[in-house]
Structure 1
């Protein structure tokens, strides 16, 4: 298969599908291994998974919700530059730009960083606020991931994302 065809198929590895066992990291996790991605809150407990919309303007869940407690420290999943750190629609949001055109977003968060700050993986970026809609727990951190305008499953950064392989002939 020519190299351009292989490169064109790489985004297909990021489509949702059956869960991948922790012992079998996804292709995205393998590529991100050098970036040392980590959980933004500890202990991690996923209470709602990534549910991408069929079209970008349709409803969906563009990240994962991690059960937490009000005031828990939120840490950067990887090193990068803070590109957003203020309220949006009444909730605190922090967004960090990383290598490879990736951007992680955390909300609702009371930010302890400012736009332009350079941060390392694991650095504190804020604290969890209460009031995340749709969260079954008292407090949840919504953790999102994008590459450009495309929303991706942030669990793929840690090797726990869902992977679906599609046949080459389009069946």
Structure 2
């Protein structure tokens, strides 16, 4: 992980509203759960993808957001857990030195640490080769 979640003291104050995961240009981005594509577009010069999921801890929706991601799905499309929904696009606007995927999550308009949604299970897929 390049940078962790840091909740702002108030909604309008600075913070880090998600986590930055090291990722190479072109790395696939997969849906973490079944859901629907809520947004595909550009925000502050970066390509963004947002998915709405049924909230596992309530009756409402949970929105997850990914950037910078070139979406391979359209707004309104239904996605399944594990489906590739886009690819990481390393841009000059990224706040990670080598490129990363910013993953954010909101419940009822409140930002939360997306790593908490994993239930203690983290699976990182990285290239591996023998020396």
TM-score, normalization by structure 1 = 0.64
Equivalent residue for 1:121, pick from 81, 94, 117: 81
User: What is residue 75 of structure 1 aligned with on the other side?
Assistant: 30
For 1:111 and 1:139, the matched residues in 2 are separated by 17
Post-superposition shift, 1:160?
A: 4.1
The structure richer in strand per residue is: 2
- 1:43-86 per-position Cα deviation (integer Å, ceiling 9, x unaligned): xxx11000010001000000000001000001111110001011
User: What's the secondary structure of 1:98's corresponding residue?
Assistant: strand
Asked whether 1:147 is paired with 2:102, we answer no
Q: Which moved more, 1:123-132 or 1:59-68?
A: 123-132
Equivalent residue runs for 1:20-39 within 5 Å: none
User: What's the secondary structure of 1:157's corresponding residue?
Assistant: helix
For 2:11 and 2:71, the matched residues in 1 are separated by 27
RMSD value over aligned CA atoms?
1.4
The gaps in structure 2 that reach 5 residues or longer are 56-60, 122-131
Of structures 1 and 2, the larger Rg is shown by 1
For 1:48 and 1:159, the matched residues in 2 are separated by 19
Equivalent residue for 2:95, pick from 134, 140, 145: 134
Post-superposition shift, 1:87?
A: 1.4
Equivalent residue for 1:86, pick from 24, 41, 66: 41
Aligned residues: 115
User: What's the secondary structure of 1:48's corresponding residue?
Assistant: coil
TM-score, normalization by structure 2 = 0.83
The structure richer in helix per residue is: 1
Asked whether 1:159 is paired with 2:114, we answer no
User: What is residue 9 of structure 2 aligned with on the other side?
Assistant: 54
For 1:67 and 1:105, the matched residues in 2 are separated by 16
| Runs of 4+ with >2 A deviation | 131-134
Q: Which moved more, 1:82-91 or 1:58-67?
A: 82-91
